[in-house]
Structure 1
Amino acid sequence: MKILVTGATGLVGSAVCARLATEGHDVMRAVRPGKRPVEGISSWVEVDVAKAVEPSAWLPHLGGVDAVVNCAGALQDGMTHNMAGVHAQGPQALFRACEQSGVRRVIHFSAIGVDRQQPSTFSQTKLSGDMALMATDLDWVILRPAVILGAAAFGSSALFRGLAALPFLPSMPSTGRLQVVQLEDIAETVLRLVDERAPSKLSLEIAGPQALEFDEIVARYRRWLGWHPAKRYLLPRPLASLVYWIGDIAGLLGWRPPVRSTAAKEIVRGAVGNPSEWIAATGILPLSLDDALARRPVSVQERWFAKLYFLKPVIFVMLPLFWISTGIISLTSGFEQGVELMLAGGAGFLAAPSVIAGALTDIVIGCAIAIRRTARWGLYAAVLLSLFYAAAGTAILPELWNEPLGPLTKIWPILVLHLVALAILEER
């Protein structure tokens, strides 16, 4: 079959594409503009689901397609995400285009519990997309998974690893139980249901066999990683609210932390359901978290990732603050000292303009690193500027190398930290 998969670079989409391809299907990956798949993938198209709100945006991509799998999703509105467009308007246009082009089979990913409660815009828009599909005469299947975990580390799957690496276990207040489901079971489900002979017009809850507390899941990951149990610490509600607020700010800057206000609203009701209809429709016996972890021997890469998980946001907070604060200091309390240093180096009438230009450049670089879309270029610019400062300082004031506080010597560890930031920048 020729199958169009939206959200093909996401956690679920990439796993679904890989599983379908291994069975010989011709997979056409629909990705957001600028999110080209890895090298070697030839069948792909760029489509911004949130903006493709008319059937005409989808029809050119449906020629010869036998089935569509919609894996596109977003946790919360932000700089690059519009949940109404991603979950409802874009998919509705896709479903109408399928009707017009003769594509009958549509597998659509929703979320467990959205038909029972809609505490946030996430679940409200997910339900709108579900209802749009159910209103069609297509051979549709709506999949409503609980929290998805797998070998790939992204979203919740990454968060649990990161929490497991902390010396203590911070527990968020008011969290419901979770029937986590394995990514490989999700991909296998799509493979079995995409066949035209499979049952259709079904809404299936996909949930694992264990209903676990949030803390229990973290504890299992910690044991899997080979570390001793950590003492549980319940975060006070004001501190938990602050954490969610910081996550929202990061989301507005284009980052995608799993801990945001939407997660706070959704996790109260948990993610539990009845998987019996799913099991009956597919014959899949879902893996428990314990069995899934037992199948994956832990590696040094897993431990590295877990320990770096919370260091990454610290790095991407400190680097912008470092550059922005140095720029502000150079323009205010440190301006005269900066000019004096430039004059001592023979800058002459260019001393003051040089200090101002350097300070403004520092601020721009700090802002660029803070924004996800420009972070890579900001880091590259920071590396080049650090090398320039080292070279210029050596040429103009070589005695700075002998200063007890090491203003030039400290450039090298700063440079290394920027290279570390570049190495861990990608989120998936």
Structure 2
Amino acid sequence: MNILILGATGFIGSVVAARLVADGHAVTGLGRNTTRARQKQQAIDWRRGDLSRMTKPEDWDDILKDQNVVVNCAGALQDGLSDNLSATQAEAMLALYSAAKRSSRPLIVQISARTAGAAGDLPFLVTKRRADEALAASSLPYLILRPALVLGRNAHGGSALLRALAAFPCVLPLVLAESPVETLSVDDVAEAVSRAVSGGISGDIDLAANEVLTLADLVRLHRQWLGLPPARVFSLAPWLAKPVTWLADMAGRLGWRSPLRSTAMTVMSEGVRSSKTGSGLATTPAAVTLSASPSGVQDLWFARLYLLKPLVISGLSAFWLLSGLIPLLTLEKTSAHFLPFMPEAAATALTFATCLIDIALGVAVLLRPLAKRALLGMLAVSFAYLAGASLLEPALWLDPLGPLAKVLPSILLTLTALATLDER
């Protein structure tokens, strides 16, 4: 069969795509950034597309041509610079359904979520529910899958946060430690999609393993999987998480997709549960899912670096902002370094320009779409500063305050940020 997968570069979508290719289907993958995906999964026909811009039926006509199945693995947690929930999760899907009715009427498999409960009025679940209800009323053949917390060999979002918390040194600081959580393997989701494609299941199905863990239990399991010694759970009052959630929401507005945003915390406040509708599908308990793929040192590195990454980015931003703002307060004194080599007016202008460059880089690195270019700019400017200072005033290398020596750790931190910048 010809199968189109939306969000095929994502955590769930990439596994579903690989399974369907292994089943012998011709798979087309749609994603916003497919460059690396083409290298990793060469058996897939990759198409670049942004669902938030595909909100009219005619936007789908070409890509739906000759498709027998469409699997929607795309989604977003919260509105922000990089995501538009209404467009991506609702308007694009309604446009897809309209286009599908006038084409080959493909089977639509929608990877959704449980949309009732305390978080039911949040945009994340409102838009999911709107798409689900429209699909159910569309007369198209469909399967709506509502998986619990999905675990797999890779990690993204909530599963990545679990690993990071599990790797926390000495203690496990948890909010809502006793919240109930149901899980399943990402391979269980792929199996359900494969069954739907072969005509084995349809309708609206909750998917979860037959066990209920607490959040603390799940973090302990991940800590054991990482090969770390047991640690005591330190339960935190929910109000202590509010500053972190607020910062995560602000980061979301700048394009960073943190799993600590308010939507995730609201969902977790009542736990991750299913209604157990009896799908007849085999599901995998969390311990079995983890033990099936033993962790390596790369998993431990990822877990330890995950929560350090935002600190590295914000630290670099503060460093460059301060290095640009502080000299502006004493512009005349700072520009005196250039006086032996150029007129006073030129020295002042050059100092002012370098301050503006530093400030611009400090701001740009906070914006996710600009972060990579800002980090590369930081490297270029750092090497330019070192080269210029070494030529014009080499004695600065011996200065007791180390104004040039301090640039070297900044370069290493920038390289670390570049190495950990990718999200998937």
How does the TM-score come out when normalised to structure 2? 0.95
Q: Is the Cα–Cα contact under 8 Å of residues 114 and 146 in structure 2 kept in the other structure?
A: yes
Displacement of 1:273 in angstroms is 1.6
2:137 maps to 1:135: yes
Displacement of 1:117 in angstroms is 6.3
Q: How does 1:153-168 map to 2 (within 5 A)?
A: 153-167=155-169, 168=171
Give me the whole-angstrom Cα distance separating, in 2, the residues matched to 1:231 and 1:64: 56
Q: Which residue in the other structure is 1:74 paired with? A: 76
1:115–1:25 Cα change, 3 Å: farther
Supply the AA of the counterpart residue of 1:419: L
Give me the whole-angstrom Cα distance separating, in 1, the residues matched to 2:38 and 2:412: 27
Q: Is the Cα–Cα contact under 8 Å of residues 34 and 46 in structure 2 kept in the other structure?
A: no
Q: How does 1:402-417 map to 2 (within 5 A)?
A: 402-417=398-413
Q: Which residue in the other structure is 1:126 paired with? A: 128
2:87 maps to 1:85: yes
Supply the AA of the counterpart residue of 1:146: A
Displacement of 1:346 in angstroms is 4.6
Give me the whole-angstrom Cα distance separating, in 1, the residues matched to 2:376 and 2:59: 36
Q: Which residue in the other structure is 2:397 paired with? A: 401
1:251–1:121 Cα change, 3 Å: same
Equivalent residue in structure 1 for 2:338, among 332, 335, 342: 342
Give me the whole-angstrom Cα distance separating, in 2, the residues matched to 1:348 and 1:340: 8
Q: Is the Cα–Cα contact under 8 Å of residues 175 and 267 in structure 1 kept in the other structure?
A: no
Q: How many residues align?
A: 421
Give me the whole-angstrom Cα distance separating, in 2, the residues matched to 1:163 and 1:391: 42
154-163 or 290-299, which deviates more: 290-299
Displacement of 1:61 in angstroms is 0.7
Displacement of 1:113 in angstroms is 4.4
Displacement of 1:42 in angstroms is 5.5
Q: Please list the CA deviations of residues 269-326 of structure 1 after superposition, one character each: whole Å capped at 9, or x if unmatched.
A: 2111244522x2xxx3211111111222221111111111111111011001110111
Displacement of 1:214 in angstroms is 1.0
Give me the whole-angstrom Cα distance separating, in 2, the residues matched to 1:188 and 1:8: 16
Give me the whole-angstrom Cα distance separating, in 2, the residues matched to 1:21 and 1:381: 40
Q: Is the Cα–Cα contact under 8 Å of residues 87 and 126 in structure 1 kept in the other structure?
A: yes
Q: Which residue in the other structure is 2:265 paired with? A: 264
Give me the whole-angstrom Cα distance separating, in 1, the residues matched to 2:44 and 2:201: 31
Give me the whole-angstrom Cα distance separating, in 1, the residues matched to 2:305 and 2:398: 34
2:384 maps to 1:388: yes
Q: How does 1:14-413 map to 2 (within 5 A)?
A: 14-32=14-32, 37-39=37-39, 40=42, 43-114=45-116, 118-167=120-169, 168-173=171-176, 176-195=179-198, 197-200=199-202, 202-275=203-276, 277-278=278-279, 280=280, 284-332=281-329, 334-346=330-342, 348-413=344-409
Give me the whole-angstrom Cα distance separating, in 2, the residues matched to 1:97 and 1:180: 34
Give me the whole-angstrom Cα distance separating, in 2, the residues matched to 1:303 and 1:264: 25
Supply the AA of the counterpart residue of 2:74: A
SS in 1 for 2:382: helix
Q: Which residue in the other structure is 2:9 paired with? A: 9
Give me the whole-angstrom Cα distance separating, in 1, the residues matched to 2:182 and 2:136: 26
* Percent of aligned positions that are identical: 37
Give me the whole-angstrom Cα distance separating, in 2, the residues matched to 1:175 and 1:126: 27
Displacement of 1:345 in angstroms is 4.8
138-147 or 234-243, which deviates more: 234-243
Q: Is the Cα–Cα contact under 8 Å of residues 134 and 140 in structure 1 kept in the other structure?
A: yes
231-240 or 367-376, which deviates more: 231-240
1:123–1:176 Cα change, 3 Å: farther
SS in 2 for 1:350: helix
2:421 maps to 1:425: yes
Q: Is the Cα–Cα contact under 8 Å of residues 173 and 240 in structure 1 kept in the other structure?
A: no
Q: Is the Cα–Cα contact under 8 Å of residues 169 and 232 in structure 1 kept in the other structure?
A: yes
Q: Is the Cα–Cα contact under 8 Å of residues 108 and 142 in structure 1 kept in the other structure?
A: yes
Give me the whole-angstrom Cα distance separating, in 2, the residues matched to 1:116 and 1:3: 35
Give me the whole-angstrom Cα distance separating, in 1, the residues matched to 2:397 and 2:62: 63
Give me the whole-angstrom Cα distance separating, in 1, the residues matched to 2:394 and 2:341: 9
Give me the whole-angstrom Cα distance separating, in 1, the residues matched to 2:72 and 2:18: 15
Displacement of 1:405 in angstroms is 1.6
RMSD over aligned Cα atoms: 1.8
Supply the AA of the counterpart residue of 2:327: S
Give me the whole-angstrom Cα distance separating, in 2, the residues matched to 1:410 and 1:192: 58
Give me the whole-angstrom Cα distance separating, in 2, the residues matched to 1:399 and 1:368: 32
Give me the whole-angstrom Cα distance separating, in 2, the residues matched to 1:350 and 1:300: 53
Q: Please list the CA deviations of residues 319-342 of structure 1 after superposition, one character each: whole Å capped at 9, or x if unmatched.
A: 01110111111111x323211222
Supply the AA of the counterpart residue of 1:182: S
Displacement of 1:115 in angstroms is 8.0
1:325–1:136 Cα change, 3 Å: same
Q: Is the Cα–Cα contact under 8 Å of residues 195 and 201 in structure 2 kept in the other structure?
A: no
Give me the whole-angstrom Cα distance separating, in 1, the residues matched to 2:306 and 2:129: 32
Q: Is the Cα–Cα contact under 8 Å of residues 338 and 347 in structure 2 kept in the other structure?
A: yes
Displacement of 1:103 in angstroms is 2.4
Displacement of 1:35 in angstroms is 6.4
Give me the whole-angstrom Cα distance separating, in 1, the residues matched to 2:152 and 2:364: 32
